Amino acid sequence: MVRSGEKTKVTKPNNGNTVGLGVGMKKGPWTPEEDQKLLSYIQQFGHGSWRSLPPKAGLKRCGKSCRLRWTNYLRPDIKRGKFTLEEERTIIQLHALLGNRWSTIAAHLPRRTDNEIKNHWNSHIKKRMTKMGIDPMTHKPNNGTQHLGSNLNHMAQWEAARLEAEARLVQKPKIELTYVNVSPPSIQKTPTKLAPPPYLPCLDVLKVWQGNLWSNYSINNENLQSFISTSNVSVATPAIPLSKQVESNVSCDQGPTTEHNDQTETQIGPFEEIRYTNDENFINDNLLRSPDFWEEFCLPDGGWNSVANNFAMICTPPASPVF
């Protein structure tokens, strides 16, 4: 939002910040004129050193302010407007894994800024989760038990590390990548440099969380090779095994709430009743709400251990995270 013609603060000398705002630097909302100056300068010359940009662009702003204005508002590739259901779901899932690492989360939401995501989280999602009785930091019911065992926690930590690394790669695409060519252990373990694949060579845990891969997925050596080099992985039909399809009542403290999102009407709150089905849409829409659901009905044989082992096999984080 551009708030032009408003009173403008002028900074005092900054003694805490190494950026060192000079005396007389302008603060506060950007005017359309300032926007235009910054925009046309960057379009013409690129931003280069942010600190040296303002005088060159004819702006009485600090470099930091210019960078912020550019990255959060003026950049031409920024998507504005309402967050879609899919985006919200992604944010929640990534937040469950990463916590408040907004820039990392933003790297997985094309054209959204970290500031925008952070704002949306604080003003919408966080409140909604609190209302639902879910702790927005732990993503667990406030009075709930520790549903997910240490294996999931461990897996999530690995995945968090991977996502962070992936985000770094997204931000710095120029660095040379080394992909591990995974083969049966007895045959080959030599890291080889491959041409960068069209996608990053990792199974995206989000797809798993979104119910597309869990049950019955199997990765053999052949498609694992294919997966590593092309990110394609053959996956068994996503569904809850028929033998596990049941009807079940899940108690909850609150009734469901309904939320409208453009064309979609979605149940957001806890459920009075959950009827388990193999309907993918249903699973996608509800996977966030019942850890029991996942633990009991969606894990492959071998439980979280099996999942963690598969992830350990196919994910090669750049460095072992230290926990």
* Contact residues: DNA, CB under 7 A: 1-3, 6, 11, 14, 16-21, 26-30, 48-52, 61, 63-65, 67-69, 72-73, 100-104, 114-116, 118-120, 122-124, 171
Q: Which candidate, 152, 132, 154, 155, places its Cα nearest to that of 142? A: 132
Q: What does the alpha-carbon distance between residue 6 and residue 320 come to, in Å, rounded to a whole number? A: 50
Q: What does the alpha-carbon distance between residue 267 and residue 259 come to, in Å, rounded to a whole number? A: 6
* Beta carbon nearer to DNA, 74 or 250: 74
* Tokens encoding 286: 């509800």
* Beta carbon nearer to DNA, 60 or 140: 60
CB of residue 260 to DNA, shortest distance in Å: 13
**Residue owning tokens 């989760």:** 129
* Beta carbon nearer to DNA, 52 or 258: 52
Following DSSP, what letter does each residue of 225-258 receive, concatenated?
Answer: HHHHHH-----PPPS--GGG--EE----SS---E
* Tokens encoding 310: 């598969």
CB of residue 58 to DNA, shortest distance in Å: 17
Q: What does the alpha-carbon distance between residue 8 and residue 178 come to, in Å, rounded to a whole number? A: 50
* Beta carbon nearer to DNA, 20 or 133: 20
* Beta carbon nearer to DNA, 38 or 224: 38
* Beta carbon nearer to DNA, 61 or 289: 61
Q: DSSP letter at 288? A: T
Q: What does the alpha-carbon distance between residue 108 and residue 91 come to, in Å, rounded to a whole number? A: 9
Q: What does the alpha-carbon distance between residue 122 and residue 218 come to, in Å, rounded to a whole number? A: 38
* Beta carbon nearer to DNA, 97 or 274: 97
Q: Are 65 and 38 in contact (CB under 8 A)?
A: no
Q: Are 163 and 171 in contact (CB under 8 A)?
A: no
CB of residue 68 to DNA, shortest distance in Å: 5
CB of residue 50 to DNA, shortest distance in Å: 4
CB of residue 61 to DNA, shortest distance in Å: 7
Beta-carbon contacts of 39 under 8 Å, excluding residues fewer than 6 positions away, are: 74
CB of residue 175 to DNA, shortest distance in Å: 9
CB of residue 118 to DNA, shortest distance in Å: 6
